[in-house]
C-alpha cells in the first residue's frame, strides 16, 4: 500500500473566508495518501478532502457529501486513473452501501491499514510501542457476518417500503439481493425478506429487522405499532419457511413469537455453548471470535491454581473458557440482564467456579467484596469508550498480567498510558480482523509487571 509521510495541511486562519463547498459538487482530485479510516486524502485550494473509495496515486472524480471549514468529505464516483493496488469490489453495491468501506483494497492492504492505525495511536497517545507485534488474527474475508441489521423505511409519498442497508453517509437505503460478507444461512432470508415485509397490511409499522445465526437462525422484527394477527401470521409463516425463529420487539425487550430452542453459539475448543437473546451483544465473526478467545488465554497464561478477573464479561465469552483452566473466575458486568445470562451460561455448561457479579465499574474496585483477595491476572473487553476508570484502579488488585481486548485503538492507547504509569509494560499487541472489508480495528494488548 502506498504511503506518504507528513501531517495534514490545513488552511491557516485569518484573511478572507473561502466560500463553502456545496454538497453534491463534483471535483477532480489527485489522491496523495490514506487516512487511518481508509479514505483517500487530497488537497485543493487550502482544503483537505477525505474521499471514500479512493487510493493513493489515483485521479478521481468525487462528489461532495459534506463540508465544514477547511475539511471536505466526498465519495469517489469515477476512477480516472487507478492505483495498481486497486481491486474490483466483490460486491456490486460496495460504492453505495455504507457497510463495507474498503472492498477496493486487497485484504493484505486492509490489514496493513489497521496495523498502522493501532501503531500510530500507541505512539501518539501513549508514546509507546509493544515489545513484540503479534501477527494479525484473521479469518475468512467474506461470509463471516452472523448478525446484520436491515434498514426499513416507509415512504409515505410513494407508498413504498424500502428495505436494505443504509447508503454511505446518508439516510437512504440501498436494496441488497446478496451480501458477500453475510454468512450463507442468512442469505436466503435477506433475499426473501423485502417481499414479505411489503406484503404486510401495515408495513409502515416496521422499524427495522435484525438477522442472527448461531445454533439456529433468528429474525427480530422491531415494530413501532402493534401488528395485526394476519401480519403476525405472515411473518411466522415466513420464518418457518426459512427455518428461523421469529422474535418481536415493541417498546419492551425482544420476545420470541413462539416457543423455540434457545439461541446460542459454540466455542468448540472448550466444548462450550453460550446462549443469547436477540439484542444481546455477540461478536459478529465466529471464527475470529474463537481465535481471539484462544489468543487471549494464551497471552494471559492462566494457571490451574489462580483466581482470574474478567471485566465487562457480557455473556461469558472469555469467562467460561477461562473457567476451564483456573481455580476461580470472577466475572463482572454492569448490565443485570447480561449478569443473568452469564450465570445461566456457566450453569448450563456445568461450571461451578464462575462467580458473576453486577457492579458499576466506575466505582472503586478494591472496596468491593468480590475484589477481596486480589487476582493473579485480569482480562477486560470494554465498549468503545474504553475503561479509564477501571484501569486507574487495576494496580490495587495485585494482578501482574493483564489482557486488554479493544474495539477502539484510541481509547486503548489512552488507557495504555495509565497502565504504563502504574508500572506495567506493553509486552505485545496485535490487531484482530473482526470486520474484514471495513476499516474498523479491533486489537488485543498484553500488559505485564516485571
pLDDT tens digits, 278-302:
999 999 999 999 999 999 999 999 9
Distances from the Cα of 86 to the Cα of 57, 140, 212, angstroms:
11, 20, 32
**Second-level CATH architecture of 1-9+23-86:** Beta Barrel (2.40)
Cβ(120)–Cβ(126) under 8 Å? no
Query: Percent of the chain beyond pLDDT 90?
Result: 87
∠ CA(225), CA(230), CA(236), 5° rounding?
A: 90
pLDDT for the residue 31 = 98
407 catalytically annotated: yes
Lowest mean pLDDT among 111-125, 180-194, 282-296, 367-381: 367-381
Compute the CA torsion angle 344, 346, 347, 350 (nearest 10 deg).
160
Q: What is the second-level CATH architecture of the domain 111-140+285-448?
A: 3-Layer(aba) Sandwich (3.40)
pLDDT tens, 33-90?
A: 999 999 999 999 999 999 999 999 999 999 999 999 899 999 999 999 999 999 999 9
Q: What is the pLDDT of residue 187?
A: 97
pLDDT score of 321:
98
The SS3 assignment for 399 reads coil
CATH domain 147-256 topology: OB fold (Dihydrolipoamide Acetyltransferase, E2P) (2.40.50)
Q: Where are the beta strands (DSSP E) in 224-351?
A: 244-249, 255-256, 264-267, 272-275, 307-311, 328-333
Using DSSP, state whether 405 is helix, strand or coil: strand
Q: Which of 406, 334, 368, 384 is nearest to 122 (CA)?
A: 406
pTM: 0.92
Matching CATH topology for 111-140+285-448 and 147-256? no
Instruction: Give the closest residue to 209 by CA, choosing from 172, 247, 264, 238.
Output: 247
Per-domain residue ranges for the chain?
Answer: 1-9+23-86, 111-140+285-448, 147-256
Is the pLDDT at 175 greater than 90? The verdict is: yes
Catalytic hit among 91, 97, 313, 407: 407
Q: pLDDT tens, 96-122?
A: 898 899 999 999 999 999 999 999 999
pLDDT at 17: 62
Amino acid at each position: 500500500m502506498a504511503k506518504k509521510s507528513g501531517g495534514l495541511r490545513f488552511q491557516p486562519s485569518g484573511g478572507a473566508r473561502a466560500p463553502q463547498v456545496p454538497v453534491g459538487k463534483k471535483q477532480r482530485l489527485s489522491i496523495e495518501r490514506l487516512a487511518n479510516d481508509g479514505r483517500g486524502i487530497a488537497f485543493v485550494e487550502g482544503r483537505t478532502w477525505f474521499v471514500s473509495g479512493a487510493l493513493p496515486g489515483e485521479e478521481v472524480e468525487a462528489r461532495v457529501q459534506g463540508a465544514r471549514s477547511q475539511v471536505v468529505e466526498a465519495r469517489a464516483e469515477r476512477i480516472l486513473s487507478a492505483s495498481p493496488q486497486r481491486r474490483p469490489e466483490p460486491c456490486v453495491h460496495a460504492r453505495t452501501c455504507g457497510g463495507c468501506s474498503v472492498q477496493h483494497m486487497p485484504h493484505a492492504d486492509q490489514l496493513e491499514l489497521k496495523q498502522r492505525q493501532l501503531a500510530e495511536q500507541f505512539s501518539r497517545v501513549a508514546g509507546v510501542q509493544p515489545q513484540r507485534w503479534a501477527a494479525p488474527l484473521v479469518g475468512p474475508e467474506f461470509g463471516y457476518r452472523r448478525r446484520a441489521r436491515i434498514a426499513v423505511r416507509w415512504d409515505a409519498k410513494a407508498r413504498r417500503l424500502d428495505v436494505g442497508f443504509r447508503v454511505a453517509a446518508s439516510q437512504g437505503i440501498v436494496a441488497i439481493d446478496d451480501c458477500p460478507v453475510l454468512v450463507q444461512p442468512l442469505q436466503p432470508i435477506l433475499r426473501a425478506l423485502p417481499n414479505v415485509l411489503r406484503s404486510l397490511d401495515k408495513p409502515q409499522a416496521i422499524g427495522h429487522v435484525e438477522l442472527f445465526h448461531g445454533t439456529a437462525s433468528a429474525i427480530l422484527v422491531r415494530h413501532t405499532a402493534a401488528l395485526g394477527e394476519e401480519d403476525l401470521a405472515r411473518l411466522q409463516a415466513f420464518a418457518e419457511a426459512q427455518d428461523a425463529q421469529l422474535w418481536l420487539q415493541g417498546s419492551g425487550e425482544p420476545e420470541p413469537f413462539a416457543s423455540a430452542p434457545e439461541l446460542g453459539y459454540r466455542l468448540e475448543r472448550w466444548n462450550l455453548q453460550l446462549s443469547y437473546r436477540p439484542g444481546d451483544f455477540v461478536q459478529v465473526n465466529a471464527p475470529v471470535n474463537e481465535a481471539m478467545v484462544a489468543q487471549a488465554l494464551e497471552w494471559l497464561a492462566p494457571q490451574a491454581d489462580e483466581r482470574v478477573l474478567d471485566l465487562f464479561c457480557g455473556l461469558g465469552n472469555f469467562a467460561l473458557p477461562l473457567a476451564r483452566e483456573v481455580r476461580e473466575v470472577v466475572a463482572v458486568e454492569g448490565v443485570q440482564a447480561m449478569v443473568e445470562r452469564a450465570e445461566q451460561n456457566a450453569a448450563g455448561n456445568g461450571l461451578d467456579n464462575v462467580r458473576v457479579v453486577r457492579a458499576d465499574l466506575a466505582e472503586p474496585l478494591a472496596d468491593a467484596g468480590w475484589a477481596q483477595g486480589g487476582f493473579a491476572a485480569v482480562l477486560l473487553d470494554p465498549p468503545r469508550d474504553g475503561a479509564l476508570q477501571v484501569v486507574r484502579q487495576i494496580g490495587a488488585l495485585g494482578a501482574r498480567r493483564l489482557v486488554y481486548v479493544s474495539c477502539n485503538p484510541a481509547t486503548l492507547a489512552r488507557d495504555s498510558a495509565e497502565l504504563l504509569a502504574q508500572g506495567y509494560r506493553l509486552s505485545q499487541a496485535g490487531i484482530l480482523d473482526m470486520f474484514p472489508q471495513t476499516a474498523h480495528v479491533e486489537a488485543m494488548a498484553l500488559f505485564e509487571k516485571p
